[in-house]
C-alpha cells in the first residue's frame, strides 16, 4: 500500500490516545456525582467522568485540543479517504469514536458509519445531527449488526487485559476486517493500564481467527496501526506471509546499514581532505607571517623610524599607491 502522510502526521501520535472506551464489566454507581452530573462507571480506578472536558482538553496537537477543529477534521478526513480507497466499505463502526470525527468524515463520503464510546461527555459534544449515529456504550457488549470494517483507535490500552480480550472477541464477531491502533509507548498517561507491543495484540486477534495483514501500511493513522482480517488460510501460508514480510524488512535494514557505512566512509575521506586543506592553509599563513616579519625587520634596519630615509621611503610608497590608483599609504 502507498504511504501518504498528512501534514506533520507524527504531531498527532501523542493525541491519538484519547479514546475513552470501557468494558461491560464496569460497575455503575447510581448516586449522582457531587456536581450533579450523570452516574459514573468505574473501572480500574477510573470513571466515565474522568473522560470529560479535562481529559479531552489535555491532549493537543500543534496547540489544538482534541475537538472539532480544522486540524482534526483534516486528519480524520485523510483517514476516511484512505479507508474508503483501501476497503470500499458500505458500513463501518468506530469503536471508541470519541466525539465522532471519523464517523462524521466517513458519512460525509457516503459510508453508513456509526460509533460507540464510553464517554457521555464525548457523545454529547458531537454535532447534533451526528448523534443519532453514535451511542454511549462498551465495546465488550454485543453489537446490533455486522460491519464491513471496524476501526478501533487507541482504546484497548485503556482497558484491563481481560476486558480487552473480550472486546477483541466481540469486535471480531461482527466484522471480517479490523483496523487497530494501540500505543506501545505513552506510559505517562495514568489511564494507559494495558500497554503492550504489537505482537501481543497480533496474538490476541489470532485467537479469534484474525491474522495481521503484514502487507498493509497503516502509518497514515499511526506508526503502530495494524489491519487484522478473518482468515481461513492454512498455517503454512500464514507463516510464509510473515516470513516474506520479515525477509523484506531484513533486506531493507541491510541496505540501509550499507548506505550508512558508505556515507561514514565518505565522511571519513572528506574529513581527512579537510584536515589536509586546513593544514596547508595554516602552513601558508605561517609562511606569509614569517615573510612579513622579515620584510618589516629589513625596513626597520634600512630606514629606522624618525630618520630621513624612513620619510623618503614613505613618500616613495605613497607615490606608488597613487600610480596604482589606491589611497596613499599612511
Rounded Cα distance between 146 and 112, Å, is 12
Condensed to tens digits (0 to 9), the pLDDT of residues 24-64 reads 333 333 333 223 333 344 444 454 455 666 666 665 555 66
Residue 156 carries which DSSP code? G
Compute the half-sphere exposure of residue 321: CA atoms within 13 Å on the CB side of its CA: 11
Quote the pLDDT of residue 135. 95
Q: Of 168, 178, 55, 34, give the one whose Cα is nearest residue 121.
A: 55
The verdict on pTM exceeding 0.85 is no
What pLDDT does residue 313 have?
73
pLDDT for 198 equals 92
C-alpha gyration radius of the chain? 35
Q: Which residues of the chain have pLDDT under 70?
A: 1-64, 284, 289, 324-330
Residue 114 parent element (H or E): strand 112-117
Contact between 101 and 108 under an 8 Å Cβ cutoff? The reply is: no
Grid cell 480524520 in the structure block, residue? 76
Q: For residues 291 and 321, give the distance between their C-alpha atoms in angstroms, rounded to a whole number.
A: 21
Starting from the edge strand earliest in sequence, which strands make up the sheet with 46-47, in order? Answer: 27-29, 40-43, 46-47
- Of 40, 41, 44, 75, residue with least CA distance to 61: 75
Looking up cell 471480531 gives 172
The third-level CATH classification (topology) of the domain covering 9-232 is Rossmann fold (3.40.50)
The grid coordinates of residue 191 equal 489511564
Report in angstroms the alpha-carbon separations of 58 from 17, 53, 227, 318: 11, 8, 29, 76
Q: What is the pLDDT of residue 202?
A: 95
- Torsions phi, psi of 211, nearest 5? -110, 140
Count helices and strands (H / E) in the chain. Answer: 8, 12
Domain coordinates in residue numbering, the chain: 9-232
Residues 276-296 have pLDDT tens digits of: 887 777 776 777 767 777 777
Amino acid at each position: 500500500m502507498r504511504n501518504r502522510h498528512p501534514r506533520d502526521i507524527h504531531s498527532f501520535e501523542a493525541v491519538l490516545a484519547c479514546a475513552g472506551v470501557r468494558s461491560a464489566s464496569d460497575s455503575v454507581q447510581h448516586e449522582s456525582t457531587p456536581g450533579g452530573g450523570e452516574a459514573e462507571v468505574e473501572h480500574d480506578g477510573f470513571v466515565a467522568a474522568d473522560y470529560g472536558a479535562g481529559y479531552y482538553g489535555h491532549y493537543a496537537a500543534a496547540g489544538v485540543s482534541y475537538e472539532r477543529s480544522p486540524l482534526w477534521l483534516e486528519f480524520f478526513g485523510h483517514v476516511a479517504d484512505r479507508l474508503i480507497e483501501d476497503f470500499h466499505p458500505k458500513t463501518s463502526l468506530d469503536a471508541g469514536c470519541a466525539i465522532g470525527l471519523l464517523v462524521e468524515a466517513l458519512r460525509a463520503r457516503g459510508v453508513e458509519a456509526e460509533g460507540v464510546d464510553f464517554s457521555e461527555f464525548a457523545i454529547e459534544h458531537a454535532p447534533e445531527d451526528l448523534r443519532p449515529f453514535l451511542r454511549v456504550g462498551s465495546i465488550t457488549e454485543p453489537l446490533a449488526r455486522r460491519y464491513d470494517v471496524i476501526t478501533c483507535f487507541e482504546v484497548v490500552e485503556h482497558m484491563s487485559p481481560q476486558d480487552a480480550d473480550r472486546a477483541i472477541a466481540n469486535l471480531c464477531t461482527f466484522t471480517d476486517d479490523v483496523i487497530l491502533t494501540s500505543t506501545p509507548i505513552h506510559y505517562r498517561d495514568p489511564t494507559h493500564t494495558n500497554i503492550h507491543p504489537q505482537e501481543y495484540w497480533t496474538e490476541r486477534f489470532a485467537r479469534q481467527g484474525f491474522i495481521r495483514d503484514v502487507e498493509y501500511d497503516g502509518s497514515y493513522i499511526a506508526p503502530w496501526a495494524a489491519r487484522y482480517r478473518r482468515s481461513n488460510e492454512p498455517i503454512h501460508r500464514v507463516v510464509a506471509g510473515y516470513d516474506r514480510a520479515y525477509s523484506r524488512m531484513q533486506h531493507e535494514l541491510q541496505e540501509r546499514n550499507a548506505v550508512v557505512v558508505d556515507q561514514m566512509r565518505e565522511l571519513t575521506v572528506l574529513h581527512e581532505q579537510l584536515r589536509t586543506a586546513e593544514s596547508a592553509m595554516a602552513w601558508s599563513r605561517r609562511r606569509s607571517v614569517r615573510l612579513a616579519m622579515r620584510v618589516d625587520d629589513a625596513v626597520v634596519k634600512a630606514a629606522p623610524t624618525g630618520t630621513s630615509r624612513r620619510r623618503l621611503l614613505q613618500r616613495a610608497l605613497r607615490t606608488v599607491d597613487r600610480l596604482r590608483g589606491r589611497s596613499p599609504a599612511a
